[in-house]
Structure 1
Amino acid sequence: MNEQNRKIGLFLVITGAIFWGIGGTVSKKLFQEYSIDVNWLVVIRLLIAGFLLLSLKCVTQNRGEVFKVWKDKKVALHLIIFGILGMLGVQYTYMAAIDYGNAATATLLQYLSPVMIIVYLLLRKRTVFTMSDMITVLLALLGSFLLLTNGSLSQMYVPIPAIVWGVLSGVAAAFYTLYAAPLLKKYDSLVVVGWAMVIGGVALNFIHPLWAAAWTSFTLKTYLYLAFVIVFGTMIAFWFYIKSLQSLSPKETSLLGSLEPLAAVITTVFWLKAPFGAFQWLGACCIIGVVFILAFWSKTPSKLRKGQKKVSSKIS
């Protein structure tokens, strides 16, 4: 592999992961200080980012694939279900978890999705239970306990609604990863994710229209934060991550992708001044450690590996 290409790949995956993490924190800033409605933000984020990804595909290569996906009725139905239950599901639950809690907790809870996939495959008897699986599950449970309680058995350190939405975000992310696998075998990830975002955005738009926002109250900072969340925290983050797979192995991208929750934690604590106790830091390390175990030790279940080859866990 060309060393220059590898350096470019490292830059892309690191930058993409950091943008994802910071994007969640900026979203919390919009909810907290600018009273942006979570439903509206999900709509505008999905629609604009989706169209940008599809436009990117049109100007790069195989532009005909953008509309080819709709010629097969079975594939089209699969894509619509994926867009609503997968993409919209994970985006909405993730943003709701941020709204009720913070980006650090929401991102870390979503990072439990690989463990949920392992448990699901074990229950369906599609894989065997290994020592690494047991350690992964136990480490994830310990990390979650420390993250949510800060080591105290007497109280929850994170609001209950934030926990519920965060866990649902992990479940939605697990569904997203598994359900996307057949689509990603046939079509480029930019096409699949781009259309899924547009479909999810259109679906939620019927409940909370894009134009139902107090545009006149937006300041320059509001627009700048929105632009960051949509362009850098969603579209560019995803594009950079996908491009990095051309120069790096899925293992390397998964490991470096763990910078996402780290970036979310650091920006949440030091920029938004959110409280984050010593045991919560330890819990965060446990959850991030799960990524390292999955990459270096465990024999990742085939369905998880196939589903993550192009998209990995980068869906937030």
Structure 2
Amino acid sequence: MNRTVVMGFLLTLASAFFFAVSGPIAKTMYEIGWTPGSVVLIRLAGSAVLLLIPSLIALHGRWDEVRANWKTVLTYGLVSMAGVQGFYFVAVEHLTVAVALLLEMTAPMLLVFWIWARSRTRPATVTFIGVMVSMVGLLLVLDLRNSDISVFGVVMALAAAVCLASYFLVSAKDSINVPPVALTGLGMGIGALVMTVIVLAGVMPAGAVTSDVDMGGYKVSWILPMSMIVVFTVGAYITGILGLRYIGATIGSFLNLVEVPFSVIVAWFVLSELPTPIQLFGGVFIVGGVGFIKWGEARLARRVASREVVVRTEDLVEV
């Protein structure tokens, strides 16, 4: 394993940790009266301001690359920033952090069907087994016997999964020459503008309180958790883009599943919140199913590579 791959793994793990911490911290803000609209707006706007100078420095003499990739940059801001964060933080308001995150982690399944539709190459049988196992896990996580689960929260979490799948695809594009810091900064700025319109329109009402926040049994000023959310958001996206460019969307989306245990641990310490045993069991199925999906993708990649070698050999023989 070369250094580039190792670095990609480490950066992707760091990104998963930063993302995992944000959910539980945001929920502590909800408990004192904050709304998802306010949390997401400050998260995006604060991150955009924090990255303004680094982004301008990184883009010095490279604005042509932004103009050449403006559609990708716009999509990144709308979907990967405003979409992922908006839907996920609304879901966290109605579900436990672990359940919301497990539903969001179905994104790799969506990637399988998207790539299948685009490439018109049928996934390996093992991939379909993985999808079925993950679907069983999804049903267990939803715990349909529990009538208290929020259908609205489930829909929001699955919408976040769709946006997350887009994030993996866009972030992994090594053909985009926009520096990762600048791409993140521009995306944050676009996302902040979108969230401003959404909040002003009343789609996601704004609500903020300056009371102290209870974090793991300790009372702290609301400024601390909001600052942590902004800093961790910047760290999550920058390390995520760098990591995905090193190891690709497929491996990155699989490795990103460690966000689930990270989030469960943080939610336990910060919120004393744990999923039910059956939901934990379902989480194991989802992770295991994604493992099968990735195994199937690896087998398919080897199969396609073998066919290409055979075709090239036949062409040489004919010549």
Listed as ranges, the gaps of 5+ residues in structure 2 are 201-205, 214-219, 302-319
- How far did 1:245 drift? 6.0
Task: Check conservation: 2:11, 2:242, Cα contact below 8 A.
Answer: yes
* Aligned position for 1:311: none
Listed as ranges, the gaps of 5+ residues in structure 1 are 303-316
* Cα 1:295/1:120, change in 2 over 3 Å: closer
Does the alignment pair 1:45 with 2:29? no
Instruction: Indicate the percent of aligned positions where both proteins have the same amino acid.
Output: 25
Does the alignment pair 1:91 with 2:54? no
Structure 1: how far apart are the matches of 2:194 and 2:171?
19
The equivalent position to 1:68 in structure 2, one of 53, 64, 67, is 64
Matching residue's letter, 1:45: R
1:205-256 CA-to-partner distances (Å, cap 9, x unmatched) read: 13326xx664655675311111111102x1112233444568x644775554
The equivalent position to 2:161 in structure 1, one of 159, 170, 187, is 170
The equivalent position to 2:121 in structure 1, one of 90, 115, 127, is 127
Task: Check conservation: 2:11, 2:239, Cα contact below 8 A.
Answer: yes
Alignment TM-score, normalising by the size of structure 1: 0.76
Does the alignment pair 1:298 with 2:300? no
* Cα 1:51/1:140, change in 2 over 3 Å: farther
Matching residue's letter, 1:263: F
Alignment: residue pair count? 290
Q: Where do 1:233-244 residues align within 5 Å?
A: 234-244=233-243
The equivalent position to 2:98 in structure 1, one of 94, 99, 104, is 104
Structure 2: how far apart are the matches of 1:198 and 1:19?
20
User: Which moved further from structure 2: 86-95 or 153-162?
Assistant: 153-162
Does the alignment pair 1:276 with 2:272? no
* Cα 1:290/1:68, change in 2 over 3 Å: farther
* Aligned position for 2:310: none
* Aligned position for 2:152: 161
- How far did 1:159 drift? 1.7
* Cα 1:64/1:156, change in 2 over 3 Å: farther
Alignment TM-score, normalising by the size of structure 2: 0.76
- How far did 1:185 drift? 2.9
Q: Where do 1:203-222 residues align within 5 Å?
A: 203-208=194-199, 214=208, 216-217=210-211, 220-222=220-222
* Cα 1:126/1:196, change in 2 over 3 Å: farther
Does the alignment pair 1:36 with 2:17? no
Task: Check conservation: 1:27, 1:229, Cα contact below 8 A.
Answer: yes
Does the alignment pair 1:288 with 2:287? yes
- How far did 1:201 drift? 0.8
Structure 2: how far apart are the matches of 1:86 and 1:201?
12
* Cα 1:285/1:55, change in 2 over 3 Å: farther
- How far did 1:86 drift? 4.2
